[in-house]
Amino acid sequence: MNGKDIEKKHFQTFDSIKETDSEGREFWTSRKLSKILDYSEYRHFLPVVEKAKEACKKSGHKVSDHFEEFLEMVEIGSGAKRKLQDIKLSRYACYLIVQNGDPSKPVIANGQTYFAIQTRRQELADDEAFQRLREEEKRLFLRNEMREHNKQLVETAQQAGVESNLDFAIFQNHGYKGLYGGLNAKAIHQRKELKKSQQILDNMGSTELAANLFRATQTEEKLRRENIQRKTKANKTHFEVGKKVRQTIKELGGTMPEDLPTPEEDLKKLERRVKSAENKMIKNSELPKKLEDGE
């Protein structure tokens, strides 16, 4: 079984142990998750859960919203049963757990990608304000997010040995190749039939921008978490993360990034139009005050 098959199997396994409560909320149980993550004994898994709880608290989330302890009746042989402590875990709790797991285990590494992407997708799905946005507004929001996370990615990549502008261009191309099935920035630019002055990130719809945002955030986290050194290893990491995001899109039945439609309006033009409209609104709102002042 090759790496791609293992990854696919892991993603399907995470889905297979997912449960739903009486209110339709999904959850995973810590005992089942510990077995999937290759922990020989549950007691060895509990310290990882505690680290995840601490991370949850530091991130400003209420621990009890994501880690719910309960007693489960299990058979211990000869028809006898006993109560065992277990924990209902939200998707975010699972994400924190795998982030604190051993990344050298393939199942942990794949879990980090699976839960990170699924958590971010759920955050956007649950964000009513985001859902109310028009496509243009979603594009503007995600493009700004992309700018901020690219700054963090640059800083982290520099610490890993990606130093010059050329180094970073090569590093970025590795991420694009992983996510776009082998296409680098130039090939994506050509596929979108863009002018030389246009940037590919300014000519993506919200779905494509979200996929690239996952790629950037998860690469930055992986570089930092595993303290990756040397630009060749950083390039490989960026490619692998991009490839995993692509595989997840495929598993979820989504459209491949290179097959998504290119918006009619470049974001640079859209930003100028929105700013012009805002300025016009400000001037109009100031007009009554000027009249009151006799101007």
Q: What is the pTM of this model?
A: 0.54
Digit-coded pLDDT (tens) for 187-200: 999 999 999 999 99
Instruction: State the amino acid at position 270 in one-letter form.
Output: L
pLDDT at 179 over 90: yes
Please write the tens of the pLDDT for every residue from 69-123. Answer: 988 776 666 667 778 889 999 888 888 888 887 767 777 766 776 776 666 666 6
Give pairs for 237-241: CB < 8 Å, separation 24+: 238/171, 238/172, 238/174, 238/175, 238/178, 239/174, 239/175, 239/177, 239/178, 240/178, 241/113, 241/175, 241/178, 241/215
Q: What is the pLDDT of residue 241?
A: 93
162 neighbors 171 (Cβ within 8 angstroms): yes
Split at pLDDT 50, 70, 90, the class of 67 is: very high
Local confidence band at 128 (pLDDT 50, 70, 90 cut-offs)? low
Is a pLDDT exceeding 90 seen at residue 246? yes
Mean pLDDT confidence for 27-34: 90
Report the candidate in 117, 78, 121, 126 with the shortest Cα–Cα distance to residue 95.
Answer: 117
Report d(CA 246, CA 214) in Å as an integer: 10
- Please state the separation of Cα 15 from the chain's center in Å: 17
- pLDDT-derived band at 4, boundaries 50, 70, 90: very low
